[in-house]
Amino acid sequence: MADDILELKGISLSFGGLKVLSDVSFTVPEGKITAIVGPNGAGKTSLFNAISGFYKPQAGEIFFKGENIGHLHPPKRAKLGLARSFQNIALFRGMTVLDNIKLGAHSHLKTGLLAALFYIGKAQREEMALREEVETKIIDFLEIDHIRNMSVASLAYGLQKRVELARALAIGPQVLLLDEPVAGMNREEKEDMARFILDLNQEWGMTVLMVEHDMGMVMDISDKVVVLNFGQLIAQGTAEDVKNDPEVIKAYLGSGNVSDMRRRLGVEAAGSE
């Protein structure tokens, strides 16, 4: 299929005796937002790790733009345009926001050791061009100009997540892998993040593959949803399809109805004591 930018074929991964992924196959359509959902421990993050090359699946192939990338080292894959953010924030705490973002662009820069030591001509020009690009395209877009020279360690959680996104953007991705981009955020911050993702997708035409547990957001913004359970793919399709799949409801969604649950637990009674 021409319009699938990423294709996974029969990915199986296990640790010792623990089967984390078994025979997972699906495709990620170019220019769309695809979400992976599934219970905790289903293997979503592991799948991301397999895509970015940190885990080596025992079986299966990964195609990126029609090319098998299964044998490539992680840095090579990043260079090809597979960028990601991490479930547990993984910023470089010893660097400023700006440097964290610049690091994302690492694989596109060419400065060698000697040039770097003396900061001569080419090295300097390259750095300046990078700075310009990061400033105008990423920092402005994500509205983080006021914190660019701060150390990331002192930032609020929501901002850290945003810097992670910025760093991923600096990789110059064709596919953006986001692992739980709005976990731990309040409604307002979630809305901001959703907005950025939508803009990236619609205005920059970027393909997004994300893992997220906030079903409200997944349903609202994704074009395709893939459901994993115990390492197996149990459903895929549009948000609407998936939402009504009984197996998905049983394994993952639950009732989703708060007042129902309240009644079931008889909380009202307790509340009015």
Partner 1 sequence: MRIGDAVSTYPSDEAIFRTQTQKVWMGIFIATLLTFPFVSSPYTLFLACLVGIAVISATGLNILVGLTGQISLGHGGFMGVGAYTAVWLADNMGMGLALSMPLAGLLTAAVGVVVGLPSLRVKGLYLAIATMAASVILHFIFVHWEPVTGGNAGINLQNANIFGINLNSDLRMYFVVVPLAIIAVLGERNLLRTRIGRAFIAVRDRDISAEVLGVDLLRYKLMSFGLSSFYAGCAGALWAYFFKVVTPESFPLDTSIFYLAAIIVGGMGTVLGPILGAIFMTLVPEILKILTAVVVPILPNAQVLLSPVRVVVFGALIVGFLLYEPHGMAEMWRRTRRYSHLWPFKT
Partner 2 sequence: MDWLFFFESSIAGLATGAIYSLVALGFVIIYKATRVINFAIGEIMMISAYLFLTFAGILEWHPLIALPLAMLGGGLLGSVTEKLIIRPMLGESPISVVMVTIGLSSILVGAAQIIWGPGPRILPDFLPRAPIFIGELYVSSKIAYSALIAIGLLVCYLIYFRFSRGGVALRATASDQAAAFSMGISVPKVFNYAWFFGSMAAALAGVLVAASGGLSPYSGSMALSILVVVIFGGLDSLTGALVGGLLVGWLETMTGAFLGGEYKMLTIFTLLTFVLVLKPYGLFGTKEIERL
Partner 3 sequence: METILEINNIEVVYNKAVQVLRGLSLTVPKGTIVALLGSNGAGKSTTLKAVSGLLDIEDGEVADGKITFKGRDVALDSPDKLVRRGLFHVMEGRHVFEDLTVEENLTAATYAKKGGAGARASFALVYEYFPRLKDRRKGLAGYLSGGEQQMLAVGRSLVAAPDLIMLDEPSLGLAPLLVEEIFEIIVRINREQGTSMLLVEQNAALALAVSSYGYIMENGKVVIDGTSDELMKNEDVQEFYLGASGDDGENRSYREIKHYKRRKRWLS
Ligand X SMILES: Nc1ncnc2c1ncn2[C@@H]1O[C@H](COP(=O)(O)OP(=O)(O)OP(=O)(O)O)[C@@H](O)[C@H]1O
- Which partner in ligand X, Mg ion, partner 1, none is near 18 (CB below 5 to 8 A by kind)? ligand X
Buried/exposed code over 174-195 (b: 16+ C-beta within 10 A; e: otherwise) = bbbbbbbbbeebeeebbebbbe
The contacts of residue 200 (CB under 8 Å, 6+ apart) are 169, 176, 206, 208
Cβ of residue 265: shortest distance to Mg ion, in angstroms?
Answer: 25
Distance between CA 13 and CA 23 in Å, rounded?
A: 8
Measured CA to CA, the distance from residue 175 to residue 67 in angstroms comes to 14
Q: Which does 54 bind (CB under 5 to 8 A by kind): ligand X, partner 3, partner 2, none?
A: partner 2
Inter-residue contact 206 to 173 (CB < 8 Å): yes
Near partner 2 in 1-60, by CB under 8 A: 45, 48-49, 52, 54
Pick one of partner 2, partner 1, partner 3, none as the site partner of residue 59 (Cβ within 5 to 8 A by kind).
none
What the block records as the tokens of 43 is 């293997």
Binding site for partner 3 (CB under 8 A): 15, 18, 37-42, 45, 87, 143, 156-158, 180, 183-192, 194-195, 198, 213, 215-217, 220-221, 251-256, 258-259, 261-262, 265, 267-268, 270-273
With binding defined as CB under 8 A, does residue 54 bind partner 1? yes
Using CA atoms in the order 148, 154, 159, 161, what is the torsion angle rounded to 10 degrees?
A: 110
Shortest Cβ 59–partner 3 spacing (Å): 21
Q: Residues in contact with partner 2, total (CB under 8 A)?
A: 8
Q: Which x/- pattern over 54-93 shows residues binding ligand X (rule: CB under 6 A)? A: ---------------------------------x------
Q: Which of 97, 107, 86, 84 is nearest to 174 (CA)?
A: 84
Residue 43: CB atoms within 10 Å: 25
**Where along the sequence are the contacts to partner 1 (CB under 8 A)?**
52-54, 73-75, 78-79, 83-84, 86, 90, 92-95, 99, 102-107, 109, 111, 113, 115-119, 123-124, 127-128, 131-132, 135, 167, 171
